[in-house]
Homo-oligomer: A and B are copies of this chain.
Amino acid sequence: MIGGGQLSRMTAQAAVALGQSLRVLAARADESAALVAADVQLGDHDDLAALTRVADGATVVTFDHEHVPTEHLRALEASGVRVAPGPGALIHAQDKLVLRRALAAAGEPQPAWTEASTVHEVTAFADDVGWPVVLKTPRGGYDGKGVFVIRGPDEAADVLERHGTLLVEERVDMVRELSAQVARSPFGQVAVWPVVETVQRDGVCAEVLAPAPDLPDVLATQAQELAVRVADRLGVVGMLAVELFQTTDGVLVNELAMRPHNSGHWTIEGSRTSQFEQHLRAVLDYPLGTTAMTAPVAVMANVLGGAASDEDWTGPGLDERVHHFMAHWPDVKLHWYGKTPRRGRKLGHVTALGQDVTEVRARAVAAARYLADGVVDDAFAFSHDHHPER
């Protein structure tokens, strides 16, 4: 697996049960996956020599991010290495303009968009759809980076000057964001999970509610079918997350990830087959596991570095917070990534299961917030009975 982050870390964990040994290409020895995997090679994902070395003897090469250059993937394939997802599929998760063109050709629902390298092109588009518009760098963006909400020509000029040719999209008047995850094997078997709601804060995924609360069945099925069609059409092998905007009219495709994704961390406890196990099954061409949920509701909350990550923090230290977390929420599951705490960094996540989404969400969010900030939100935490699932 190329990349040593938490996705690779949790994939290594899933590989243990399958009797597989995951080799990880990490940039540094202290990356999340490098701390726990048995077979770690250090090197850069854009260094073909490093990629060739890590691929040597591997059944298949897969990824925990989208940043490996297409020409390197083509070179690996040309030398007989199996790459999953293949470069022809992966490009749609790497380049937002390529994705928009492909979805347009397929007639799939997406925001109004155009390609622009001049202010004139942006304003002509905005004349149609109205300001503000959203400018996106076609490549390299994640967690809200490379995305600019632009209110007029001057702002557009500034962003274009810095970034060159951009994707321009209407700002969608959305109800909320959803994610539809599907796994696809080389053989074409697909497995789809319930559609989830993703709650973003400052452009970063903060919570995932599974299944998406109050999502009409017809819309859920529509989103799942869309994800399966996209996976098939693009020839995805492995996990595909289709990030969606829910509008009053239906759903629009925001972007794709072709790997395990933050919106699927809940599956570790919340589904019979986790996205990490499923990704391995798919890229190794094993039959896929059932995606049935293990409880009516699962909520995942990211632990994002907060006040307790600051150097001048004087509250309970991390280990003390983990103690308090475990004492107070014996039924909330922790996943810690082994990273040095820093403001806004994804340090770990927690998952809670239960019957009622309001209660389960309150529990997960309070637990994550306590781990991140060392403070207890009265509205959530200590006024609740936290064993309602029993």
Mark A residues whose CB is within 8 Å of B: 9-10, 12-13, 15-19, 21, 34-38, 40, 269, 272-273, 281, 286-290, 292, 294-295, 322-323, 326-327, 330-331, 333-338, 348, 353, 387, 389-390
When C-beta atoms are compared, the residue in chain B nearest to A328 turns out to be B287
A390 CB, min distance to chain B CBs, angstroms: 6
Whether the pair A326, B289 counts as a contact (CB closer than 8 A) is yes
Whether the pair A286, B13 counts as a contact (CB closer than 8 A) is no
Q: Given A38-B35, A331-B292, check contact A19 B390 (CB 8 Å).
A: no
Whether the pair A322, B286 counts as a contact (CB closer than 8 A) is yes
Whether the pair B19, A348 counts as a contact (CB closer than 8 A) is yes
User: Please, which residues of chain B bring their CB within 8 A of the CB of A287?
Assistant: 323, 326-327, 330
Alpha-carbon gap, A273 to B351, bound state (A): 13
Alpha-carbon gap, A119 to B347, bound state (A): 65
Alpha-carbon gap, A326 to B331, bound state (A): 30
Whether the pair B19, A333 counts as a contact (CB closer than 8 A) is no
Whether the pair B18, A10 counts as a contact (CB closer than 8 A) is no
A287 CB, min distance to chain B CBs, angstroms: 4
A250 CB, min distance to chain B CBs, angstroms: 28
When C-beta atoms are compared, the residue in chain B nearest to A13 turns out to be B16
Whether the pair A334, B272 counts as a contact (CB closer than 8 A) is no
When C-beta atoms are compared, the residue in chain B nearest to A349 turns out to be B17
Of B36, B40, B333, B389, which is within 8 A of A21 by CB? B36
Of B19, B40, B337, which is within 8 A of A38 by CB? B40
User: Please, which residues of chain B bring their CB within 8 A of the CB of A35?
Assistant: 21, 38
Alpha-carbon gap, A331 to B40, bound state (A): 31
A291 CB, min distance to chain B CBs, angstroms: 9
Of B17, B21, B335, which is within 8 A of A17 by CB? B335
Of B16, B18, B290, which is within 8 A of A331 by CB? B290
Q: Given A286-B326, A323-B287, check contact A294 B292 (CB 8 Å).
A: no
Whether the pair B323, A17 counts as a contact (CB closer than 8 A) is no
User: Please, which residues of chain B bring their CB within 8 A of the CB of A336?
Assistant: 17-19
User: Please, which residues of chain B bring their CB within 8 A of the CB of A12?
Assistant: 16, 36
User: Please, which residues of chain B bring their CB within 8 A of the CB of A326?
Assistant: 281, 286-289
A9 CB, min distance to chain B CBs, angstroms: 6
Whether the pair B286, A333 counts as a contact (CB closer than 8 A) is no
List 5 A–B pairs whose Cβ atoms lie within 8 Å, in order of A's numbering: A9-B16, A12-B36, A17-B333, A21-B35, A286-B323
A21 CB, min distance to chain B CBs, angstroms: 6
Alpha-carbon gap, A9 to B13, bound state (A): 10
Alpha-carbon gap, A157 to B289, bound state (A): 55
Alpha-carbon gap, A224 to B133, bound state (A): 64
Alpha-carbon gap, A272 to B270, bound state (A): 11
A336 CB, min distance to chain B CBs, angstroms: 3
User: Please, which residues of chain B bring their CB within 8 A of the CB of A333?
Assistant: 17, 272, 289
Whether the pair A330, B13 counts as a contact (CB closer than 8 A) is no
Whether the pair B38, A16 counts as a contact (CB closer than 8 A) is no
User: Please, which residues of chain B bring their CB within 8 A of the CB of A327?
Assistant: 287
